[in-house]
């Protein structure tokens, strides 16, 4: 089998080739490292590419398979976002201010090792995972492989660029305000934010969860089953059509002042709504009432960012805008966090019920990927306000703990990915995966 061709294939296809003996994990790892170096030279997706460590992990995977072991992702290469601790390595979080090597693996990295995946390198992110673009003093500018003049989004921008560029089929990602879903929308990938507490994480006062970036819903579901705790396997849900659902379409921005919605993105959303109606779902337009929930989200996020900034080795090396946001976050009293968390959970329980819908269909942002440097030169607070207006549709579901997914549904006239977001009630991760996979199949069929 052509190892180079398999590198950019789906993790499920890679696992099948490894299981059948058509390729070894060592050969696949070598080809993946070579592809990663090529992609990195073009888009700056990696902090490090570690061929030696990948080779060791691949050899171990081959030995395990030779002993008769199997696993859904045994021997499959993976890129790891540089926000996950691996023993002996500095977890940079995109910052020059972090210098101390981790003393132990994070729960996710430990799970990856146990499952026999093959980490090939660590991917870039903005400083302290704070921004919806991946540009930092430490690592420079990460670019979108679809159009290198554009951002891949953030904070999981390096992971998205690695997958979209064909360096790897699977990369870890985390999401505290949209950091899985924003890069998915920018790069034409699948990004699923699981419900709160389903996967390791919990940073930013419970806003953040762990997940991944892939090209297909079923691959993301397979990975989430590996690292998460769900009542039923998500991989099974990806193979089944959901029952008829009530779908609410909300195109309005939940924050003010409102940015206009890109016309091509709006058209893609309306086509998706028509697709859902054609699949038997009851589709209607709604207007979500968030009330004061955005204030609760901001309190949790700023307070959490301030705590993260206090943990760095040398605060003087923080970028000026990050330090500014951290100082503002330091003004949020500890006593405000528990009420904010209760507010988020309460809004999550009633949000869809109040609209009498099972699912929300929204944009992931007010438009496709913006040019690199779009927010360069701004101070911390203006940067956050501008990001909040553009990426207005993702943070709310971190605050409420609701599962949400972004998936590609087409391209703009200039070739930029167009994507939609689906969100369901807390605890309905399987329903989200089933519906996302159904939409994915319908989009595939329309292209044929």
Q: What span, in angstroms and rounded, lies between the C-alpha atoms of 153 and 166?
A: 17
Secondary structure letter of residue 267 according to DSSP: H
Strands 359-362 and 246-249, bridge-based pairing: parallel
Helices (H), 364-428: 380-390, 395-400
- What CA–CA distance (Å, rounded) separates 269 from 410? 10
Q: Between the CA atoms of 165, 366, 122 and 138, what dihedral angle is there, to the nearest 10 degrees?
A: 110
Structure tokens at 347: 């809004």
Distances (CA, A) of 221 to 121, 126, 225, 272: 22, 26, 6, 21
Q: Exactly one of 106, 159, 174, 179 is catalytic; which is it?
A: 179
Question: What angle (nearest 5°) sits at the alpha carbon of residue 369, between those of residues 317 and 48?
Answer: 45
Q: Which of 155, 156, 174, 253 is labelled catalytic?
A: 155
Q: Are 82 and 124 in contact (CB under 8 A)?
A: yes
Where in 320-403 does DSSP place strands (E)?
Answer: 359-362
361 contacts 276 by C-beta, under 8 angstroms = yes
DSSP reduced 3-state for 56:
helix
155 is a catalytic site residue:
yes
CB proximity list for 326: less than 8 A, separation 6 or greater? 305, 306, 308, 309, 310, 318
CB 211 within 8 A of CB 179: no
CA within 13 Å, CB half, 169: 29
Contact 196, 426 (CB under 8 A): yes
Active site residue 193: no
- Give the DSSP letter string of 76-123: -EEEEETTS--TTSB--TT-TT--PBPSS--HHHHHHHHHT-EEEEEE
Q: Could you tell me which residues come within 8 angstroms of residue 299 by beta carbon, excluding any fewer than 6 positions away? A: 332, 336, 337, 340
Q: Residue 136: phi, psi to the nearest 5? A: -145, 160
> Kind of pairing, strands 135-136 and 46-49?
unpaired
The catalytic residues are 81, 155, 179
């Amino acid at each position: 089998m052509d190892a180079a061709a398999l590198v950019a294939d789906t993790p499920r296809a890679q696992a099948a080739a490894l299981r059948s003996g058509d390729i070894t994990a060592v050969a696949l790892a070598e080809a993946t490292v070579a592809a990663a170096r090529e992609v990195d030279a073009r888009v700056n997706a990696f902090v490090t590419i570690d061929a030696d460590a990948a080779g060791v992990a691949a050899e171990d995977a081959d030995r395990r398979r030779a002993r008769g072991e199997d696993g859904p992702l045994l021997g499959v290469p993976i890129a790891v976002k540089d926000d996950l601790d691996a023993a002996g390595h500095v977890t940079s979080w995109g910052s020059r201010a972090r210098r101390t090597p981790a003393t132990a693996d994070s729960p996710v990295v430990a799970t990856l090792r146990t499952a026999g995946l093959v980490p090939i390198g660590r991917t870039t992110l903005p400083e302290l995972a704070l921004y919806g673009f991946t540009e930092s003093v430490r690592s420079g500018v990460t670019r979108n492989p679809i159009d290198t003049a554009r951002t891949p989004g953030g904070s999981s921008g390096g992971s998205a660029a690695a997958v979209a560029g064909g360096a790897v089929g699977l990369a870890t990602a985390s999401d505290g305000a949209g950091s899985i879903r924003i890069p998915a929308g920018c790069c034409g990938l699948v990004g699923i934010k699981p419900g709160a507490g389903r996967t390791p994480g919990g940073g930013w006062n419970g806003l953040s969860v762990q997940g991944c970036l892939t090209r297909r819903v079923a691959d993301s579901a397979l990975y989430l089953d590996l690292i998460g705790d769900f009542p039923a396997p998500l991989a099974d849900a990806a193979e089944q059509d959901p029952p008829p659902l009530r779908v609410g379409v909300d195109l309005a921005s939940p924050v003010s002042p409102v940015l206009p919605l890109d016309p091509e993105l709006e058209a893609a959303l309306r086509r998706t709504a028509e697709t859902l109606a054609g699949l038997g779902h009851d589709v209607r337009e709604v207007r979500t009432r968030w009330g004061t929930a955005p204030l609760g989200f901001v309190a949790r996020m700023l307070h959490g960012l301030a705590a993260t900034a206090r943990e760095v080795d040398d605060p003087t090396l923080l970028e000026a805008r990050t330090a500014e946001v951290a100082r503002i976050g330091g003004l949020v009293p500890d006593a405000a966090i528990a009420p904010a968390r209760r507010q988020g959970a309460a809004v999550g329980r009633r949000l869809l019920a109040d609209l009498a819908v099972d699912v929300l269909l929204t944009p992931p942002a007010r438009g496709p990927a913006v040019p690199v440097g779009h927010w360069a030169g701004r101070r911390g607070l203006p940067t956050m306000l501008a990001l909040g207006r553009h990426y207005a549709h993702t943070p709310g579901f971190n605050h409420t703990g609701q599962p949400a997914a972004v998936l590609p549904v087409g391209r703009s006239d200039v070739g930029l990915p167009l994507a939609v977001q689906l969100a369901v009630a807390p605890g309905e991760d399987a329903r989200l995966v089933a519906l996302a996979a159904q939409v994915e199949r319908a989009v595939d069929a329309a292209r044929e």
